[in-house]
Structure 1
């Protein structure tokens, strides 16, 4: 067992002890959001504030360092910044979870494992993506190099999910394999983070950059966090693309913290601190790779290109879904030359993009946040009506 697995094992034991100590706590009409990505939480918070009068419960937000940008929207709500490595923070977090009749979370948190065998609390996983091009959970190819104790711990967390929200039948199949869940656990309310794409408003960022916008939003490589590759150079933007485009780069926070050298220039800007949905609405073109961003960008029916310079390596080390190249709405381009050729050779196929979006966003119709909050209300009322 390596040092990381050993630490996780002790972490899990500590949580188990806290679960025993706090077991007598009574769950109240309270919903807790356990958040590490801002998008779903932002949608749910806005919907809660809009419909609070018709809901019988209060909301508390537990958020990690990756979601600190939510702080400005937490006015009127209970909230707690959670440092998962702080033992006292974990005490507070378990107490909050146990006092809640419903918990909505957006990621793999070992913390939710304390909710196993706690029927008075419903745990709902919304996940941080409405589609997936890479394997995760029980399907993750790196699991073959992990000790059995790690896999057992993963399954313990997945067992804490009473329900998992899905935006499509395609993603439902992915979750069944990745989390080992059953059909009855799938909540077909759509994905909250997609609601914003149904709002009719003009992208404000267009005013900041008058040129056409290419947004580059790559996934992170956990086996190589110190580097990344841009799809185009300044020279290519100026010459091959005639100076018509700005290249905006949205990096994963884990990668951004590892990059020391600046890659910005007159036509290339680092926009990693800006909200994704604002950038996607403003973008004329998306370039990505194995990220889940295409699934929500497809709702806007604009061109997507795939810069997959390390396709074979990524598939081997991290794992892609079966038939990746036939699933994506476009061609996998191994270098900048192929990418430029794809961008300039033919017209955008809007029908192909719509088919892709309809497949992966079939249940996401603009009211997913409200539907999920109402579902939580229904579950709480059933708990109240159940015989003691």
Structure 2
């Protein structure tokens, strides 16, 4: 099948190249903040280029006709950006000079992925990864700091010089106070309980755990622990779209899946997490973080962690749902400068202070495509 696809693609490459940028995402529900900002940058900097956004699907019989569409646009585009592992991007032999950028879908990584996780219980099979040329063909990958850059070098299997200090478009979104204030108002209007919490001096606590394939996440434990405290506080649970874990009903708990994670950071007072890369986004918003890695021994064995967890996570590590909630409701303002000075130093000041002006990451990434005027 792979050889057939390459043969068909070789014929497609004979077609004329168009003034067109292809953005391919694995986000099935909506266009991400990152792609929205990239589209705005392309329209502003290269108004003569058409933009094609493709939502990549997993391999199945229904995917085959969609694969031909992806191949056609790859064969005829001026540049391509992806936010995950996209099979046609990696297995096909592309036209010389086609620049392909990997922006990934997170500002950094705490858990292993890609080649770093190859051979682990939850990671890709090394033989399949080799056959599918996993994460090959990137002209460059974008990183927001030196620690993520080193992780991406290993996870994507690319030379260090191909990981560029470009950041992610979402950095500008998270640092845009006017945009986030408007988003906050929208969410408070949508959820009157949250407005009541904010106005009464209570705390809005997000619980954003990492998805576990085939395992339940203890949302109900967190909600039960939360119920022991002042009713002025509100807990927002953000399960993964395919997570089947039991969820609590009503009370002072909101299931927040109808609003994106980045938007929720506009209202959050505290975030409880474990291995999620939301850690990075929260530090750009100066939101206190509490880490509850309740299954760290099993998770480390099953997938592995990309960083020294205890040394690197920028917040207290707790050992129970009760301790997580207690800490979340009492924790004070954080100082993330040390963390940002190594994990986000491509988009902050050298000492980790937040930049005085947004770094225009979307423009940096589009410039790296080197599109013709």
Shift of the alpha carbon at 1:143? 4.4
1:71 corresponds in structure 2 to none
Shift of 1:330: 1.5
Matches of 1:21 and 1:347, distance apart in 2: 61
Q: Is this contact kept in 2: 1:27–1:99, CA < 8 A? A: yes
Q: Counterpart of 2:351?
A: none
Describe how 1:245-324 pairs up with structure 2 within 5 A. 245-255=233-243, 258-259=244-245, 261-324=246-309
Asked if 2 retains the 8 angstrom alpha-carbon contact of 1:27 and 1:121, the reply is no
Q: How far did 1:235 drift?
A: 4.5
Of 19, 34, 38 in structure 2, the residue corresponding to residue 29 of structure 1 is 19
Spell out, residue by residue over 1:238-293, the C-alpha distance to the aligned partner (whole angstroms, 9 max, x if none).
Answer: 32x312311111112222xx35x552321111111211221011111111111110
The superposition leaves residues 323-378 of structure 1 with CA deviations (integer Å, 9 ceiling, x where unpaired) of 11111012322211332443356533x22x232233322223441012212332xx
**What CA distance in whole angstroms lies between the structure 2 residues aligned with 1:296 and 1:323?**
19
Measured in 1, the distance between the counterparts of 2:53 and 2:61 equals 14
Distance in 1 (CA, whole Å) between partners of 2:109 and 2:242 is 19
Deviations 1:40-59 (A, max 9, x none): 2122123334x15x544221
CA distance in 1, matches of 2:66, 2:115: 28
Structure 1 contact 130–166 (Cα < 8 Å) conserved:
yes
- Partner Cα separation in structure 2 for residue 200 and residue 220 of structure 1: 30
Instruction: Tell me the distance in 1 between the aligned counterparts of 2:325 and 2:109.
Output: 25
Note the C-alpha offset of 1:321: 2.1
TM-score (norm 1): 0.81
1:358 lines up with 2:341 in the alignment: yes
Match of 1:373 in 2: 366
Q: 4+ residue stretches of structure 1 with deviation over 6 A?
A: none
CA distance in 1, matches of 2:226, 2:48: 54
Distance change >3 Å, CA 28–CA 235, structure 1 → 2: closer
1:72 maps to what in 2? none
In proportion to residue count, which structure has more helix? 1
Distance in 2 between the 1:266 and 1:206 partners? Answer: 17
Aligned to 1:215: 206
Moved more, 185-194 or 166-175: 185-194
C-alpha distance in 2 between matches for 1:86 and 1:157: 18
The answer to whether the Cα contact below 8 Å between 1:141 and 1:319 also exists between their aligned partners in 2 is no
- Contact kept, 8 Å, 1:64 with 1:84, in 2: the verdict is no
| Cα contact 1:31–1:57 (8 A) shared by 2 | yes
**Structure 1 residue 108 displacement after superposition:** 0.6
Residues 1:20 and 2:10 are matched in the alignment: yes
**What is residue 116 of structure 1 aligned with on the other side?**
93
Determine whether 1:60 maps to 2:52: yes
CA distance in 2, matches of 1:141, 1:324: 20
Tell me, what secondary structure is at the counterpart of 1:286?
strand
Q: Identify which of 167, 171, 191 aligns with 1:190.
A: 167
**Structure 1 residue 217 displacement after superposition:** 1.1
* Residue among 201, 206, 209 paired with 2:188: 206
Q: Partners in 2 of 1:167 and 1:84 — Cα distance?
A: 37
Aligned counterparts of 2:120 and 2:131: Cα–Cα separation in 1: 12
Equivalent residue, structure 1, for 2:354: none
Q: Deviations over 1:105-139 (max 9, x none)?
A: 00011110255352131111000011110111111
Q: Which residue of structure 1 aligns with residue 158 of structure 2?
A: 181
Q: Distance in 1 between matches of 2:251 and 2:269?
A: 19
State the alpha-carbon separation in 1 of the partners of residues 223 and 309 from structure 2.
30
Query: What is the rounded CA distance, in whole Å, between the counterparts of 1:302 and 1:338 in structure 2?
Result: 18
Return the offset for 1:151: 2.9
Per the TM alignment, residue 303 of structure 1 is displaced from its structure 2 partner at its CA by 0.4
The gaps in structure 1 that reach 5 residues or longer are: 1-9, 67-81
Q: CA RMSD in A?
A: 2.6
In structure 2, stretches of 5+ residues that fail to align are: 198-202, 348-357
Quote the residue 1:45 is aligned against. Answer: 39
